[in-house]
A = this chain, B = another copy of it.
Amino acid sequence: MDRRGPTLEDVAREAGVSRATVSRVVNGVRNVDPGIQDLVRRAIERTGYAPNRAARSLVTRRADTVALLVSGAGDAFAARVFADPFFGRIVSGAVAFLRGRAMHPVLMFAESAPARQQVVDYLRQGGADGALVVSLQAADPLPEMLYAAGVPVVLFARPPEGLPLAHVDLDHRAGGRLAAEHLLARGCRHPATITAPQDLPAGRDRLAGFQEALTRAGRHGAPAVEGGFTVDSGAAAMLRLLDGHPEVDGVFAANDLMAQGACQVLSERGRRVPEDVAVVGFDDSSVAVTCRPPLTTVRQPVEKMAAAMAELLAARLQGAGPEPERLLFRPELVVRASA
């Protein structure tokens, strides 16, 4: 268990120079004679030297690590997160940016009060220099905790009211409009919607945008049933919609999983998609492709957004002004078979 390896001192001795010189070579500082650089590099090779992170970060006050926090609640939280390709896209985007910046991305989960506390402690103790956080619940205490701890943070989605935190977000309202406009353009006369949980600002915005576009087209009061982002909740909502409004010929589901649930119910009830009822999803997740029929859906530029988060954080860590920034992204419609 004694993994103590060679130190700078050892390399210095081996190369016949001082610790400082080796340090300069390791950190790529100029002002080192090319010949000596070579000497040192060979000594590093021979000794198998690897710098000690702890020692380095003790003096630089940086961990060169950023935490990617996925926050939410509930049992089997990780299982749910991993069932949703959405997070994969966020991770891909963030990781892509951080690599090459010599910043190690580490993913952590904050699914319960103790887990949250551990994560906050980890950051307060300097385990990472800052955090990118993706929050799944409306009233998530994590952003506030991180803010209070003075940890540099960038959020995916709007921060809770009153918290001045940097963030990136989608123009959800525009997304809702996109869906409505597409359904109308296809000739739907009785559009309805399966909404996201309405305690989420994003959920309210998608609904508002949808209604706004309908209103603008002279249609009022489209039926709306609230779902819970899962396939089952989408199926249940579709059943209620069908029972209460059998004339429905177009449905906007606030995410793809619910859209899939809706499609299943429709097909069980003998309604063809899209001929009898057109369905539009949201997210362009992988189920949009595997769903039968493949889903027409509103796509968020998630990777770009995640990369932007990472960039915002990096800038902040470099000492850019502390004013929290905000970046808003535009959704686009991906047309497939379902609408």
Which A residues are closer than 8 A to B by beta carbons? 1-5, 50-58, 61, 63, 65, 76-89, 91-92, 95, 99, 104-109, 114-115, 118, 121-122, 124-127, 150-152, 231, 260, 264, 286, 290, 292, 316-319
Cα of A85 to Cα of B287 in the assembled complex, Å? 13
Closest Cβ–Cβ distance, residue A121 to chain B (whole Å): 7
Is B125 a contact partner of A52 (Cβ separation < 8 A)? Answer: yes
* Distance in Å: Cβ of A244 to nearest Cβ of chain B: 25
Chain B residues contacting A52 (CB-CB under 8 Å) are: 58, 125-126
Inter-chain contacts of A76 with B (CB < 8 A): 88, 92
Query: Would A125 and B88 be within 8 Å (CB), given that A82-B81, A106-B107, A106-B108 are in contact?
Result: no
Q: Is A125's CB under 8 angstroms from B82's CB? A: no
Closest chain B residue to A285, Cβ basis:
B83
In the complex, the chain B residue whose C-beta lies closest to that of A53 is: B125
Docked CA distance A54–B292 (Å): 52
Among B5, B82, B95, B118, the residue within 8 A (CB) of A99 is B118
Given contacts A52-B125, A76-B88, 15 further A-B contacts (CB under 8 A): A5-B124, A53-B54, A53-B122, A53-B126, A53-B127, A54-B56, A54-B58, A77-B92, A78-B89, A78-B92, A78-B95, A79-B88, A82-B88, A82-B91, A106-B107
B124 touches A109 (CB 8 A): no
The docked-state distance in angstroms from the alpha carbon of A151 to that of B81 is 29
Residues of chain B with a CB closer than 8 A to A53's CB:
54, 63, 122, 125-127
Residues in B neighbouring A88, C-beta threshold 8 A: 76, 78-83
Chain B residue with the shortest CB-CB distance to A68: B107
Nearest chain B CB to A253 CB, angstrom units = 15
Q: Are A61 and B108 in contact (CB under 8 A)?
A: no
Name A104's contact: one of B58, B63, B118, B316 (CB within 8 Å). B118
